[in-house]
Amino acid sequence: GNSVTQMEGPVTLSEEAFLTINCTYTATGYPSLFWYVQYPGEGLQLLLKATKADDKGSNKGFEATYRKETTSFHLEKGSVQVSDSAVYFCALSLSGAGSYQLTFGKGTKLSVIP
Amino acid sequence: DAMVIQNPRYQVTQFGKPVTLSCSQTLNHNVMYWYQQKSSQAPKLLFHYYDKDFNNEADTPDNFQSRRPNTSFCFLDIRSPGLGDAAMYLCATSGGTGGHETQYFGPGTRLLVL
């Protein structure tokens, strides 16, 4: 079956520190990969996505590269801010007719302190 | 702005008292989803509609039902809420030119069962 494994949290960083949240996946076929962010008490917001190998998704200073050879989609940001404190979910979706389920990782809580 | 709207944001009900949560969307997407998210967990898909076709996940309890009267609206009915049904309920949509692989989430309704 399909699965997503992401690093356990919580992760605590000082403002302006470098962020990496690891995400690896197993899937039958060629999935699309996503990072969603959930701020406290809110729904999920799409942060970035990549639909094929070697694609790089980027948004708000975050980026992740679809690495087929290592089945990974690690999230990075060069300089985090307090406002980046949230839970980050890595997810995959298999494209094609009838495949509508997102498979999520367990989420990684990030806290950024001033 | 096109969006997914959920009302109410917070809902309190009594044990065993039916409750309905609502979702509307202005994205004109043909697929709508309902997820349950418990504290510190990833969202869990309950069911989805592809247009008017209802698709239930195998492990979704019978206590959960859904209605989609038109493209824009979708309802989640919990017939007899138990204490274990207290959670965040997330609505999502997909479709349009972006295809079905990317889901867009609403802000969620937090349900409290007394």
pLDDT tens for each residue of A11-27:
999 999 999 999 999 99
pLDDT tens for each residue of A81-114:
999 999 999 999 876 555 577 899 999 999 999 9
For residue B42, list chain A residues with Cβ-Cβ distance below 8 A: 89, 104-107
pLDDT band at A61 (very low <50, low <70, confident <90, very high): very high
CA distances from B70 to B52, B73, B107 (A): 8, 6, 21
Q: What distance, in Å, lies between the first and last C-alpha atoms of chain B? A: 36
What pLDDT sits at residue A89? 96
For residue B108, list chain A residues with Cβ-Cβ distance below 8 A: 42-43
Does the pLDDT of residue B33 top 90, yes or no?
Answer: yes
Least confident of A79-83, B40-44, B71-75, B109-113: B40-44
How much is the average pLDDT of B28-57? 92
Integer Cα distance of A108 and B79 in angstroms: 33
Check CB contact under 8 Å for B100 and A100: yes
Torsion, Cα of A100, A101, A102, A103 (10° steps): -150
For residue B101, give the nearest of A36, A41, A93 by CB distance.
A93
Contact of A100 with chain B, judged by CB distance below 8 Å, is answered with yes
**Do β-strands B64-67 and B73-78 pair in parallel, antiparallel, or remain unpaired?**
antiparallel
Rounded to a whole number of angstroms, the distance from the CA of A86 to the nearest CA of chain B is 12
What pLDDT sits at residue A41? 86
pLDDT tens for each residue of B3-26:
999 989 999 999 999 999 999 999
What pLDDT sits at residue A1? 80
